[in-house]
């Protein structure tokens, strides 16, 4: 016997209290009277206090002590065993969106999965324990671990699969850890297992092949020069025949356009014109098997235009720069600009706030070492991971007019031996800067770099580096699960957060924000206090989940034969509890029945 609440044994003090009560008797004076009928209506008054007498062993005393003992043991949590063995069922639920696809009868794979799990729970009995695990890139526990069957039923009623395509491997690993050696594993999905199945587990496929049309890619573009906007969609018709659908575009409460389409089997594209300046638009197709891929929300992009200042001296280098910039979009001449091209000798002068500087030619005198300029034909050592040098090789380039630089003055990005050719000035106690500066240690008028394929790549990389550092989102429309990166123009003055449908989360304070586009998606707003900073679109866009033709119905494997889970038993499951309750209750009832009628009335 064990006790789950040992402090309850203090109730045993009731037994000596009962014995003490029975030791004392009330003493009355002896009076001779003619008849007792004259005294029946008078209150009997004891004379003096009680006196200790020999303990009378009566039936009432025995019953009262027995009842006190039984109730004290109940309060102390007396058990024959602290734990019982229960069946533990661990279920991995495929949380991918295709589980919500419905057939012609309005039934989904999710509905069939729930029925199958509940049937298994009923087979195991009311004492079974159930753990429900949701699959995903970050698997989570929906119910449990080792929850009661009634809790699992409530959790299953709230399950709504809507995740993008993912591997079940991480979910299976988590489910196996929760099952351990005492639980059985069942996997519920709409696709069959891979080759060889899943050892030690029952894989239940509850899918059904269905035809479906969905949006697999979406983009909203804007041409400020032409005053036109457009929505470009990639559509997938996973069926053997053309599908008729109706597409509608709305912006807020305003209907922009509606059109009937006939989509051929396979992949097709669709472009819908939009007037510029509209708020985020909602593009929706008529319903089919899977609703998750029938609509998108697209925010209008605000292009990041990079302002350029060209302060290079007239010559071949300056003309080559103008030609390379002319081939790029999102670039304009502006003063003050975001990116300044100048002679390298000006890099030691004060810079304009917010301007990046790129210097070509002879570096400032303080950065130089003794020696004459030299020409190099390679080999060149490039810092390949730096975004400035993406796609560059410098094959066949003659690097002309490189001046020797003082050790530690410039951090190298491209070098030939110990000679720095491209680099960023090092920070020192005497020299600080707020914006990047890049030194090109070469003579633009003599080098053939400006005629090589690397020249337009180099200028394009410079522009894109500066563009990505401008305030605003990196992009305006995202897929669920992608990283969203937003740069602010200033330090925030109020708490930052984002809101996307029912999902709302706080963001760390800072100029650079980074978070994952939340599921299920929709219109995402970045807020500073109550002020809205940006509106972005987050959409499903999953080509794999749109294809419902790979679904299947089958069972593979079987539930493992395990010992079961030892769980803490409640009082109702222990026979000793009912025995003590019966003894205590019976003793109280029998004692009440044996009391004289006068004592009961008193």
Question: Above 60 in pLDDT, residue 109?
Answer: yes
Give the whole-number percent of the chain exceeding pLDDT 70. 88
Going by C-beta distance under 8 Å and a sequence separation of 6 or more, which residues neighbour residue 374? 402, 404, 419
Same domain assignment for residues 33 and 146: no
Same domain assignment for residues 486 and 445: no
Could you tell me the residue range of the domain that residue 377 belongs to? 306-468
Query: 373: domain CATH number?
Result: 3.40.50.880
From 232, 245, 244, 237, select the one nearest 281 (Cα to Cα).
232
Same domain assignment for residues 101 and 75: no
Please give the full DSSP string across 431-480, using - where no structure is assigned.
Answer: ---SS-EEEE-S-TTT-SGGGSTHHHHHHHHHHHHHHHTSSEES-SEEET
What would the mean pLDDT of 51-73 be, rounded to a whole number? 77
Query: pLDDT-based confidence at 43, cuts 50/70/90?
Result: low
Range in 71-85, 337-351, 504-518 the model is least confident about: 71-85
- pLDDT for res 448: 93
- pLDDT for res 602: 45
Query: 145: domain CATH number?
Result: 3.40.50.410
* Tokens coding 528: 């500073």
Same domain assignment for residues 344 and 426: yes
Dist CA 540 CA 218 (whole Å) = 10
Residue 117 included in any domain: yes
Residue 246 included in any domain: yes
Residue 312 included in any domain: yes
Residue with tokens 């020299």: 431
Same domain assignment for residues 381 and 485: no
Same domain assignment for residues 497 and 562: no
Residue 576 included in any domain: no
Residue 575 included in any domain: no
> How would you classify residue 174: left for phi > 0, otherwise alpha for psi between -120 and 50, otherwise beta?
alpha
pLDDT in tens, 355-399: 899 999 999 988 899 989 999 998 999 998 999 999 999 999 999
Quote the DSSP letter at residue 368.
B
pLDDT in tens, 423-470: 998 875 455 556 889 999 999 989 999 999 999 999 999 999 999 889
- pLDDT for res 8: 79
Query: pLDDT-based confidence at 38, cuts 50/70/90?
Result: low
Q: Are 90 and 156 in contact (CB under 8 A)?
A: no
Residue 529 included in any domain: yes
For 423, the 3-state DSSP assignment is: strand
Same domain assignment for residues 373 and 445: yes
Going by C-beta distance under 8 Å and a sequence separation of 6 or more, which residues neighbour residue 3? 9, 76, 77, 78, 79
Give the whole-number percent of the chain exceeding pLDDT 90. 58
Same domain assignment for residues 372 and 400: yes
**Boundary of a domain, candidates 296, 316, 345:** 296
Extract the runs of DSSP E, i.e. beta strands, from 378-418.
381-382, 399-402, 410-416
What would the mean pLDDT of 487-496 be, rounded to a whole number? 92
C-alpha pair distances (Å), 86 with each of 129, 145, 146, 560: 7, 13, 10, 15
Q: What's the domain count of the chain?
A: 5
| Mean pLDDT rounded to a whole number for the chain | 86
Q: Are 164 and 96 in contact (CB under 8 A)?
A: yes
Angle CA 177–146–556, to nearest 5: 60
Q: Are 341 and 355 in contact (CB under 8 A)?
A: no
Residue 573 included in any domain: no
Same domain assignment for residues 103 and 166: yes
Residue 574 included in any domain: no
Query: pLDDT-based confidence at 36, cuts 50/70/90?
Result: low
Question: Above 50 in pLDDT, residue 565?
Answer: no
**Boundary of a domain, candidates 236, 267, 296:** 296
What would the mean pLDDT of 418-425 be, rounded to a whole number? 92
Dist CA 216 CA 542 (whole Å) = 6
Q: Which residue has the higher pLDDT, 483 or 49?
A: 483
- pLDDT for res 598: 45
Question: Above 70 in pLDDT, residue 411?
Answer: yes
Question: Above 90 in pLDDT, residue 595?
Answer: no
Question: Edge-to-edge, what's the strand order for the sheet holding 512-516?
Answer: 472-473, 483-487, 512-516
Q: Are 447 and 361 in contact (CB under 8 A)?
A: no
What would the mean pLDDT of 518-531 be, rounded to a whole number? 93
pTM here is: 0.71
Largest pairwise CA distance in the chain: 149
From 274, 87, 251, select the one nearest 182 (Cα to Cα).
87
Same domain assignment for residues 77 and 115: no
Query: 486: domain CATH number?
Result: 2.60.40
**Boundary of a domain, candidates 247, 273, 296:** 296
Query: pLDDT-based confidence at 573, cuts 50/70/90?
Result: low
Q: Which residue has the higher pLDDT, 576 or 30?
A: 576
From 460, 528, 476, select the one nearest 300 (Cα to Cα).
476
pLDDT in tens, 238-283: 999 999 999 999 998 899 999 999 999 999 999 999 998 899 999 9
Going by C-beta distance under 8 Å and a sequence separation of 6 or more, which residues neighbour residue 54? none
Same domain assignment for residues 314 and 462: yes
Same domain assignment for residues 365 and 274: no
Angle between helices 59-75 and 575-594 (to 10 degrees): 150
pLDDT in tens, 193-205: 876 677 888 999 9
Dist CA 395 CA 330 (whole Å) = 29
Query: 261: domain CATH number?
Result: 2.60.40.10
pLDDT in tens, 21-31: 777 655 456 67
Query: pLDDT-based confidence at 321, cuts 50/70/90?
Result: very high
Q: Are 152 and 121 in contact (CB under 8 A)?
A: yes
């Amino acid at each position: 016997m064990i006790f789950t609440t040992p402090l309850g044994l203090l109730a045993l003090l009731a037994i000596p209290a009962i014995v003490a009560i029975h030791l004392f008797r009330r003493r009355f004076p002896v009076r001779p009277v003619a008849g007792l009928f004259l005294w029946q209506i008078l209150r009997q008054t004891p004379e003096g206090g009680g006196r200790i007498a020999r303990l009378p062993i009566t039936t009432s005393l025995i019953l009262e002590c027995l009842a006190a003992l039984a109730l004290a043991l109940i309060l102390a949590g007396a058990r024959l065993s602290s734990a019982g063995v229960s069946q533990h069922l661990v279920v991995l639920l495929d949380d991918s969106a295709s589980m919500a696809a419905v057939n012609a009868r309005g039934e989904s794979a999710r509905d069939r999965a729930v029925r199958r799990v509940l049937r298994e729970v009923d087979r195991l009995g009311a004492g079974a324990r159930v753990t429900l695990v949701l699959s995903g890139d970050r698997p989570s526990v929906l119910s449990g671990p080792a929850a009661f069957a009634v809790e699992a039923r409530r959790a299953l009623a709230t399950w709504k699969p809507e995740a993008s395509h993912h591997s079940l491997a991480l979910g299976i690993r988590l489910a196996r850890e929760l099952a351990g050696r005492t639980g059985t594993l069942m996997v519920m999905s709409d696709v069959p297992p891979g080759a060889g199945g899943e050892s030690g587990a029952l894989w239940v496929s509850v899918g059904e092949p269905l035809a479906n049309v969905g949006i697999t890619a979406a983009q909203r573009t804007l041409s400020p020069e032409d005053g036109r906007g457009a929505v470009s969609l990639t559509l997938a018709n996973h069926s053997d025949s053309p599908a008729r659908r109706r597409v509608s575009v709305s912006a807020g409460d305003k209907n922009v356009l509606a059109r009937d389409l006939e989509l051929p089997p396979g992949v097709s594209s669709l472009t819908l014109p939009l007037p510029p300046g509209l708020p985020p638009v909602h593009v929706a197709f008529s319903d089919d098997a899977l609703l998750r891929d029938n609509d998108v929300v697209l925010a209008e992009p605000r292009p990041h235009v990079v302002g350029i200042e060209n302060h290079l001296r007239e010559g071949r280098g300056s003309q080559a720069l103008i030609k390379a910039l002319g081939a790029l979009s999102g670039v304009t001449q502006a003063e003050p600009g975001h990116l300044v091209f100048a002679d390298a000798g000006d890099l030691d002068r004060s810079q304009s706030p917010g301007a990046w500087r790129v210097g070509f030619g002879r570096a400032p005198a303080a950065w130089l070492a003794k020696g004459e300029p030299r020409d190099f034909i390679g080999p060149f050592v490039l810092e390949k991971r730096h975004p400035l040098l993406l796609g560059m090789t410098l094959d066949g380039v003659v690097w002309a007019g490189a001046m020797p630089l003082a050790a530690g003055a410039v951090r190298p990005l491209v070098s030939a031996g110990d000679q720095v050719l491209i680099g960023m000035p090092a920070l020192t106690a005497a020299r600080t800067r707020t914006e990047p500066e890049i030194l090109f240690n070469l003579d633009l008028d003599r080098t053939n770099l400006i005629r090589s394929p690397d020249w337009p790549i180099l200028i394009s990389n410079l522009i894109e580096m500066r563009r990505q550092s401008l305030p605003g989102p990196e992009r305006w429309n995202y897929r669920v699960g992608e990283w969203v990166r937003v740069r602010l123009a200033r330090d925030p003055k109020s708490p930052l957060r984002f809101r996307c449908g029912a999902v709302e989360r706080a963001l760390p304070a800072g100029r650079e924000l980074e978070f994952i586009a939340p599921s299920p998606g929709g219109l995402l707003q970045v807020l500073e206090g109550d002020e809205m900073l940006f509106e972005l679109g987050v959409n499903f866009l999953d080509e794999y989940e749109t294809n419902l033709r790979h679904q299947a119905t089958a069972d593979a494997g079987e539930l493992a034969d395990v010992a079961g889970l030892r769980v803490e038993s409640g009082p109702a499951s222990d026979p000793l509890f009912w025995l003590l309750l019966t003894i205590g209750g019976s003793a109280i009832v029998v004692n009440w029945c044996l009391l004289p009628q006068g004592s009961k009335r008193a």
